[in-house]
Amino acid sequence: FGLSNKFDTEFPSVLTGKVAPEEFKTSISRVNACLRKNLPVSVKWLICGCLCCCCTLGCSLWPVVCLNKRTRRSIQKLLEWENNRLYHKLGLHWKLSKRKCETSNMMEYVILIEFLPKYPIFRPD
């Protein structure tokens, strides 16, 4: 379903001077913990759904779709919490985004880190 089972904890060089490497690793570790918690359940339901797919006309895959959606929502909520806690104050915004894989036509979810524009505080109202 395009959701990775783990995101890379390597500190990107673009964030040097913007955020501490420890904070970055802590945030990614929280996201990976969420994925690690939900992945085994999804895999079991996927195997079961594939085995019963012909008998149920594809309806046995609905639990996997729902679990995947729930995992995406929990990651999005976690990233929003991280944004409010730290990253918006640093001028960054993290979000989960869907993009095309580089090696194939499949879609995957990635974490995008965007730089927020700075607001001029001396501009009159």
User: In the chain, what is the greatest distance between 2 CA atoms, to the nearest angstrom?
Assistant: 67
Question: How wide is the angle at C-alpha 85 spanned by C-alphas 39 and 94, nearest 5°?
Answer: 55
pLDDT, residue 120, reads 67
Residue at token pair 């929003």 = 80
Whether 1 is in a domain gets the answer no
Whether 121 is in a domain gets the answer no
Compute the average pLDDT of residues 18-29: 93
Whether 34 is in a domain gets the answer yes
Whether 28 is in a domain gets the answer yes
Residue at token pair 């945030």 = 27
Whether 12 is in a domain gets the answer no
Distance separating alpha carbons of residues 10 and 38, to the nearest angstrom: 22
Range of the domain at 63: 19-115
Banded pLDDT at 1 (limits 50, 70, 90): low
Distance separating alpha carbons of residues 113 and 115, to the nearest angstrom: 7
Whether 93 is in a domain gets the answer yes
Whether 120 is in a domain gets the answer no
Whether 5 is in a domain gets the answer no
Domain count, the chain: 1
Helices (H), the chain: 21-51, 53-56, 62-82
Banded pLDDT at 45 (limits 50, 70, 90): low
Stated pTM of the model: 0.79
